[in-house]
Structure 1
Amino acid sequence: MNEGVVLSCIIGTNNTFSTDEINIIPDVYKLYLGETEQNIYLENNPVTINGYFDEKNPEQSSLSFTGIDPFLTLQNYMPAEKDPDIATISTSVKGKLTPSMASALAYLADVNDYQSNKMLLDMIPEQDRKSLSAKWLVNRVEILSHQIIGAECPDFTFTDANGKNVSLKDFRGKIVVLDFCASWCGPCRKEMRSMLTIYNELKADDLEFISVSLDDSEAKWRKMLDEEKLPWVMLWDKTGFPKNSKTPSAIQTDYGFYSIPFLVVIDKEGKLAARNVRGEQVREAILKIRQ
């Protein structure tokens, strides 16, 4: 993740290569083999790469590394769950990682769980938060702190079907079910129909449903509106759905999600009451606020 090239070399006529020794800050770096790239955690240790690499058919390559034991240790603590909106880091890492390894694990795992990231940040003394991954983690925890239950939800302004700008703050004083979706997302369309049942059962002046589409195409979004004919507020975020989880959109960063459908329930004061909920969980969150 460090900007700029730290070391580079080319393969010699005898199919070997070597580099000069340099001192580096223990952190996450990108290893490039031709056009193939891999994030790797490195410390100030000699690293040796042996084997065969086929850039056209990487799956047929056979490489072995020595000198990357700390990186291999981090692999043991990577979450098995691949969905970053669900995955967490085990508390078993406490006392087992150096500060630089803690920030590297946070960056490599890239989970959306506030407690996991806060735990790793707490393992890093203030004076050791100078690496790029540590600075990334500090910012990450600050962003995620707005996504814990009881935190005030970030405002946004998107366009409705009539071209009118609509903001979250317009619904202060109401319970808001906020649904992030897209026309091409089958599970999103299924969840909308599930939400319609809840909407019809619980609709009242104190409740508002809002669907925010992350479609790249306005035409496809409008086609979905015509097909679903849902009775609640439908908005379009024209920035669309990013192709890379490392470069989420502004709304994804604010609400801490990568995959869709993603639903949150917001109370009448504009504070987060429930996040990443579906179906009956949405109903339960609404009823809990109404108690």
Structure 2
Amino acid sequence: MLKIKWTILLLLVTNMIAFAQAGLKLSGKLRVLEPTEIRLETIFGERILTMQVENNQAFQTECKEITPDVYVLYVGETRQPIYLTNKEVTIKGFYDNKNVDNSSISFTGIDKYYELAEWLPKEKVDRKKTISPEVKGKLEMSMYSALAYLANIPVYEPNKFLWDCMSEEAKTTYSGKWLGQRLDSLKKLAIGAKAHDFTYVDPEGKEVRLSDFRGKFVLVDFWASWCGPCRQEMKSLLPIYNELKGDDLVFISVSLDKREKDWRNMLDVEKLPWVMLWNKEGFTIGDAPNTIQKAYGFYGIPFIVLIDKEGRFIARGLRGERVKEEILKARGK
């Protein structure tokens, strides 16, 4: 009887110790040029753990119970999104705060992050990134929304696919909430969404609206005279236009030249036979897109979309032969 009581007590103590140690802990040793801060934040910027690291000195944080999810780890000013669970993560290597490219840091205890990395898109260009449908049923909890965060695809459909793979509980996590917000902002750009009804001037100074062409398929090409690939794409559009033109189809090229004279010079040179308009806002490079770039969700040109007879997106990011293919598909041919 006494032996049984001692066994039960030992089990209770062991479980209490294990419970007390449960949680995320960061530990390791780094060579650094100067004292460096390591901190962990949620993707919304809430601080979770922080410590100061000295050169070649072992460090460790207290255990902190977290919800398994993607977090942001900072080593100095270097930012790394990473999927973490309630286990110890070791960080070792060399960090050069003056030239980060010289740094070499290794991690252990991030197996779930490596699992996610296997599903990240292989494409380098954002608009071409895809998520393999085979991922469905292969991940758990917030790993689907974490994958969306890490992949950072600026297109509605792959994000919606990952959202539909999630449980309601997973949607309440940090990355789940982020993905919900992401979908809200991308929904207006989804295939089938209503295209923004712009108004620009034609060469005669007359205002022309997209909605003037309701009842027709509309191909809209955003370009600028200084953009070499844009001019080349226009030349590719000409034979497609000549082959497929009809009462049910309109081509519109919207110039994003900042100077009207540059647009008009191009008109004289190219003499294209479809609707030519000018957006005097011009094209904005970087993280501050102009009104039409925000409305249509593009950061580079040429950018071509096909819009149906009701003014909804049929296809986005078209180039080359895909233009012809999508028009024929829209016509049911």
SS in 2 for 1:121: helix
Question: What residue in structure 1 maps to residue 320 of structure 2?
Answer: 279
The residue type equivalent to 1:270 in the other structure is G
Unaligned runs of at least 5 residues, structure 2: 1-42
Q: Is the 8 A contact 1:86 1:113 kept in 2?
A: no
Specify whether residues 124 and 285 from structure 1 end up closer, same or farther in structure 2 by C-alpha distance, changes over 3 A only: closer
How far residue 54 of structure 1 moved from its aligned partner, in angstroms, is 1.3
Q: Is the 8 A contact 1:161 1:222 kept in 2?
A: no
SS in 2 for 1:129: helix
How much is the aligned-residue C-alpha RMSD, in angstroms?
Answer: 3.2
Specify whether residues 139 and 239 from structure 1 end up closer, same or farther in structure 2 by C-alpha distance, changes over 3 A only: farther
How far residue 111 of structure 1 moved from its aligned partner, in angstroms, is 2.3
Aligned with residue 96 of structure 2, among 54, 74, 83: 54
Aligned with residue 213 of structure 2, among 171, 182, 185: 171
Question: What residue in structure 1 maps to residue 277 of structure 2?
Answer: 234
Q: 2: distance between equivalents of 1:20 and 1:237?
A: 57
Say yes or no: does 1:266 pair with 2:291. no
Q: 2: distance between equivalents of 1:106 and 1:8?
A: 26
How far residue 32 of structure 1 moved from its aligned partner, in angstroms, is 2.1
Question: What residue in structure 1 maps to residue 175 of structure 2?
Answer: 133
More strand by share: 2
How far residue 99 of structure 1 moved from its aligned partner, in angstroms, is 2.0
Q: TM-score scaled to structure 1, two decimals?
A: 0.81
Range moving further from structure 2, 77-86 or 114-123: 114-123
How far residue 39 of structure 1 moved from its aligned partner, in angstroms, is 1.8
SS in 2 for 1:137: helix
Range moving further from structure 2, 41-50 or 279-288: 279-288
Range moving further from structure 2, 42-51 or 281-290: 281-290
Q: Is the 8 A contact 1:195 1:279 kept in 2?
A: yes
Specify whether residues 280 and 91 from structure 1 end up closer, same or farther in structure 2 by C-alpha distance, changes over 3 A only: closer
Per-residue CA distance 1:144-193 (angstroms, 9 max, x = gap)? 555555x1432243543677765432321222101233445432221122
Aligned with residue 118 of structure 1, among 160, 165, 168: 160
Aligned length: 285
Q: Percent identity?
A: 48
Q: Is the 8 A contact 1:175 1:265 kept in 2?
A: yes
Ranked by relative contact order (alpha carbons within 8 Å, sequence separation 6 or more), the top structure is 1
The residue type equivalent to 2:216 in the other structure is K
Per-residue CA distance 1:240-276 (angstroms, 9 max, x = gap)? 44524xx776655654545432212112221333333
Q: 2: distance between equivalents of 1:207 and 1:154?
A: 16
- Look at both structures and tell me which one has the larger radius of gyration over its CA atoms: 2
Specify whether residues 222 and 192 from structure 1 end up closer, same or farther in structure 2 by C-alpha distance, changes over 3 A only: farther
Specify whether residues 138 and 251 from structure 1 end up closer, same or farther in structure 2 by C-alpha distance, changes over 3 A only: farther
Question: What residue in structure 2 maps to residue 155 of structure 1?
Answer: 196
Unaligned runs of at least 5 residues, structure 1: none
Q: Is the 8 A contact 1:174 1:268 kept in 2?
A: yes
